[in-house]
Chains A and B, each alone.
Chain A
Amino acid sequence: MKTRRDFLRSTVLGASATWTVPMFVERTFGQLHEGARDLAVQPVTGKDDTILIVLQLAGGNDGLNTLVPFADDAYHKARPRLAKKEKEIIKLSDHVGLNAAMPFLGSLFKEGDLGIVQGVGYPNPNRSHFVSTSIWETADTTNHSNTGWLGRYFDNACPGADPTVGISFNKTQPESFGALKNPGVCLNSPELYRWIHSGGDKDQAEQFFADLNKPNTAADHDEDEPTDGGSIAMAAGGKVGGITGEGNLAFLERVALDARVSSKTILELAAKHKTSVRYDGTPLARNLNLVARMIAGGMPTRVYYVSHGGFDTHNQQVNSHDRLLGQLDSGLKSFFADLKQQGNDKRVVLMTFSEFGRRVSENASAGTDHGKASCLFLAGAGIKGGLHGSHPSLTDLSEGDIKHTVDFRSVYGTLLGDWLKAPNLKPILGANYPKMGLIG
């Protein structure tokens, strides 16, 4: 039995580094699929294992109008137009409440399946969308890392895993998936996630390419065998989901292989699961629906990544921010109902994150500017519900922003260690951050 790694070594990087023949790889799917199934029963990539969903709120979510400190006078004073009144929220404690656009999360909180971590951030925060997103995705506050925190988890805690160990439903690969070995896969629509060879003589074409490209035959050792593309391509930065120092051609070949290996499996699984749960038509709900289908189909995936954008509310924020939170709430409601129906609800934990919170004071345009610390949600039966960390002061500020009380790497570390059961956090996060009681 050939493993994906053997396959990779023997054919793509070794023998035919210049191009891969799609039909040939299609033919070997059965074989590779078997291989992947073997791997799937290993402890770290098992079908019954825990799953983490990472949900990005892109643009900088206004934490203060998400988890509202309604009892704090300073909040109302700083936001004469934007502040939520006591009757406009779902009260969670004497001090804070949820934005009323999120009734489902409110009920989840009451059931003890929603944890809210308050005042999450990092030292010396950066207010640039791009830098701060990068910091959250790489878990490196110096913004020098070329790999992401999830990519390092795949590399270090899931050896030999199929590329579908991580799946992002995005047009572009999230930086957090950046890895040295296995950066996961990225797809948008499972129906189109395959190479479509139409037209006549399909069998002949397949046969031809299969014969021509049989691995480990003499024909593969041509004298003009290039060295993994290095002579043609130059080393690229590899900041975005790539492998550091890998040339563009070698990079393309690796992605081509991963696409083939994952395509058939995903296609089959996506078609299999039908649910009676209704999802909204928003891109977020659509993607959560896809995640639910993958989970129902028994993918060996440990981490799914989805995005919800539009949180950069500099201007007239009231309606747009409430609408975005409402879409989030509705999407999660369908998603968790679907999981429950499947009987997979106990396997899944979801974490939201955003690159930063927003300024305490509203601006002249009835919006808010880029800020620093914010809150994040943890949802799922595996979560210890309630409020975690302490709500930061609204009067002891740093340049008009609240100061963080929890380092986001503590949240990552807890989820990696206590939920995904990564044995060793140091190679993933670079250090051991104090764990929090978020699971259980």
Chain B
Amino acid sequence: MLARADETWTIFEAAHLLNRAGFGGSPAEIKSFHALGREKAVDSLLSPAEPLDAFPLPAWSVGDQALADMRERRQLFRSNRKAMEGLSPEAAAAAKREAIKKIQQENRQQALEGQAWWFRRMLKTQAPLREKMTLFWHDHFATSIQKVKQPVFMMRQNELFRRSAFGSFKDLTHAILMDPAMVLYLDTQSSKKNMPNENFAREVMELFTLGEGNYTEQDIREAARAFTGYYLNQGEGKVSHDKRQWDPTDKTIFGKTGPFAGKDVIDLIFAKKQPARFMAKKLWEFFVYENPSEPALDALAGSFLKADFQTGPLLREIFLSKEFYAEAAIRSQIKSPVQYLIELLKQLEITEPPVGFPVTAQQQLGQVLFMPPNVAGWDWGQAWINTNTLLTRYNLAGFLTKGAGETDKSMMPERIKTPGMAPGPKQMGRGWKGPDYEKIAPRPLRENPTDLVDSLVFRFFQCPLPDKARKSFIEYAVTKKGAVLTDKETAELCHLMLSTPYYQLS
């Protein structure tokens, strides 16, 4: 058990918890979160009142409709094939290309919709930790729509992660073995007894549960044989185990021998202590800071093992611990692009972001939901920031704070074409008017530059800034102030506050 935080519970600590366990909030949201007290605030995160189905899914991703769509596609393929019989080889090939193109277009459009759906949910949810854990699992069991191709499976996997947000790591690993998107992503689909494919066997040990150095090449080769015979039944949208394609002979894994199947390998892995340590470290680094001390890690791994790999209790222990509120943890984490965007929108009290903004911004900043770069997920921390992405963050903040009308053309973020996803609108956010500055900085507040800056500092940074920075902002506001700061001048002040290295920290 980690040492618990003491009785004092400041508003800055409340903001820190809401930033890390969720996606931050407006000053009003932080205040009501603070009013709960530490224990109740943590409870509210772990037992949200918002039901799992609070946000209706796009129709194409829901059970029967999705199955019907899949059947229709196969039907289409079959009838196409029939229609092609009379055609010349060239004409048949062209018809086939056309049919494939149509399906690809549909997939890319759905990918964009699914992407928007999840981003919107993150922005609007009253269960922020559940969404944050969904993102954590998405990164951990990384699967990309670019390879999976069928958005419906990505959405189903997303629902699995949401249901498992505070559940058992072990159960989720079992579920992932039978997850259609993962089966497609790691080629378990085509792994057969005569020629096992090592992809899933390797990643399940290296990236999902044990970490490099905690298994041998021999373990992987043997496990790959156990993971044979799993396949996706496209008609049912389910993964099954085909015993005929499974290698039923003995395998020796971690020194134990038996005719193991895939699920047995996962049980063998979780019979070890290492997954507890591996996951405790990863969760700590995701929510708190990198490289935790060995004693802290021992304590966390011990608790996790005792809780039989249940993540809820582990998260509770982290968020109630003294170390979570220590100096080393406060405002020391570099925001991921998704974190940056949702926090910023919440702070600017924008509930409907400009059309096309979320996906374009994610592309430019290097984190597109449903598209982690590879099976290891995203590189977090300093990897988000380079000269290019930092400048892009500054410019996106300028666009959001100032609106499309106030900006020169070059400021309109350009879309990037991403294979596997339909492009957003060509020029996104046309007519975007910027946030409501009457709400963010009411006129009376603008009478006094010091009060205005202090209020904005809390809104954007949620902690006292070093004096020099604060004074600079105040002086800037003073020189800008004619009779009273206009919306435009307020927007400029906000943009400058956001165009700082300091704002990149959460």
Please, which residue of chain B has its CB at the minimum distance from the CB of A219? B468
Contacts of A215 in B (CB 8 A): none
- The stretch among B89-97, B260-268, B270-278, B382-390 that forms the contact with chain A is B382-390
Contacts of B492 in A (CB 8 A): 199, 201, 205
- The stretch among B31-39, B44-52, B193-201, B436-444 that forms the contact with chain A is B193-201
Query: Contact: A172 with B382, CB < 8 Å?
Result: no
Query: Contact: B381 with A249, CB < 8 Å?
Result: no
B479, CB-defined interface residue at 8 Å: yes
8 Å CB interface, B348-380 against A = 364, 366, 373-376, 379
Given A18-B469, A193-B388, decide whether A173 and B383 contact each other with a Cβ distance below 8 A: yes
Report the minimal beta-carbon distance from B101 to chain A, rounded to whole angstroms.
16
B190, CB-defined interface residue at 8 Å: yes
Query: Contact: A222 with B468, CB < 8 Å?
Result: yes
A191, CB-defined interface residue at 8 Å: yes
A370, CB-defined interface residue at 8 Å: yes
Query: Contact: B334 with A252, CB < 8 Å?
Result: yes
B290, CB-defined interface residue at 8 Å: yes
CA distance A365 to B199 in the complex (A): 12
Contacts of B391 in A (CB 8 A): 192-195, 259, 263
B113, CB-defined interface residue at 8 Å: no
A137, CB-defined interface residue at 8 Å: no
B252, CB-defined interface residue at 8 Å: no
Q: Which of B331, B374, B499 contacts A22 (CB 8 A)?
A: B499
CA distance A235 to B289 in the complex (A): 10
Report the minimal beta-carbon distance from B219 to chain A, rounded to whole angstroms.
13
CA distance A370 to B289 in the complex (A): 33
8 Å CB interface, A200-229 against B = 200-201, 204-205, 208-209, 212-213, 222, 224-226
Query: Contact: A208 with B479, CB < 8 Å?
Result: yes
A364, CB-defined interface residue at 8 Å: yes
Q: Which of A237, A249, A367 contacts B291 (CB 8 A)?
A: A237
Query: Contact: A369 with B411, CB < 8 Å?
Result: no
A114, CB-defined interface residue at 8 Å: no
Contacts of B232 in A (CB 8 A): none
Contacts of B454 in A (CB 8 A): none
Report the minimal beta-carbon distance from A131 to chain B, rounded to whole angstroms.
6
B110, CB-defined interface residue at 8 Å: no
A162, CB-defined interface residue at 8 Å: no
CA distance A188 to B364 in the complex (A): 9
CA distance A252 to B334 in the complex (A): 9
Contacts of B411 in A (CB 8 A): 196, 198
Q: Which of B206, B330, B387, B408 contacts A187 (CB 8 A)?
A: B387
CA distance A197 to B327 in the complex (A): 34
Query: Contact: B395 with A128, CB < 8 Å?
Result: no
Please, which residue of chain B has its CB at the minimum distance from the CB of A315? B187
Q: Which of A21, A186, A191, A234 contacts B289 (CB 8 A)?
A: A234
B466, CB-defined interface residue at 8 Å: yes
B72, CB-defined interface residue at 8 Å: no
B242, CB-defined interface residue at 8 Å: no
Contacts of A22 in B (CB 8 A): 394, 496, 499
B61, CB-defined interface residue at 8 Å: no
B25, CB-defined interface residue at 8 Å: no
B407, CB-defined interface residue at 8 Å: yes
Q: Which of B333, B373, B387, B488 contacts A199 (CB 8 A)?
A: B488
B202, CB-defined interface residue at 8 Å: yes
Q: Which of B331, B382, B499 contacts A251 (CB 8 A)?
A: B382
B459, CB-defined interface residue at 8 Å: no
Contacts of A369 in B (CB 8 A): 197-199
Query: Contact: B394 with A241, CB < 8 Å?
Result: no
Given A18-B469, A249-B502, A252-B334, decide whether A364 and B408 contact each other with a Cβ distance below 8 A: no
Taken residue by residue from 279 to 318, chain B's Cβ proximity to chain A (1 for < 8 Å, 0 otherwise) reads as: 0000000000111000000000000000000000000000
CA distance A198 to B394 in the complex (A): 12
Query: Contact: B366 with A233, CB < 8 Å?
Result: no
Contacts of B327 in A (CB 8 A): 231-232
Query: Contact: A172 with B366, CB < 8 Å?
Result: yes
Query: Contact: B385 with A251, CB < 8 Å?
Result: yes
CA distance A234 to B505 in the complex (A): 12
Report the minimal beta-carbon distance from B204 to chain A, rounded to whole angstroms.
13
Not counting A240-B379, A364-B197, a sample of 13 additional A-B residue pairs whose C-beta atoms are within 8 angstroms of each other reads A19-B472, A163-B387, A172-B366, A187-B388, A193-B388, A198-B407, A234-B291, A241-B386, A252-B334, A255-B501, A259-B387, A364-B190, A369-B198
The 6 closest A-B pairs by CB, nearest first: A252-B501, A364-B195, A186-B386, A365-B190, A259-B387, A240-B383
> Would you give 28 A-B contacts (Cβ < 8 Å), ordered by A?
A18-B465, A19-B500, A21-B496, A22-B499, A173-B383, A186-B388, A192-B410, A193-B391, A196-B395, A196-B407, A198-B407, A198-B408, A200-B488, A201-B492, A209-B476, A224-B467, A232-B332, A234-B289, A240-B381, A241-B383, A248-B334, A248-B382, A249-B502, A253-B501, A258-B387, A314-B197, A315-B187, A369-B199
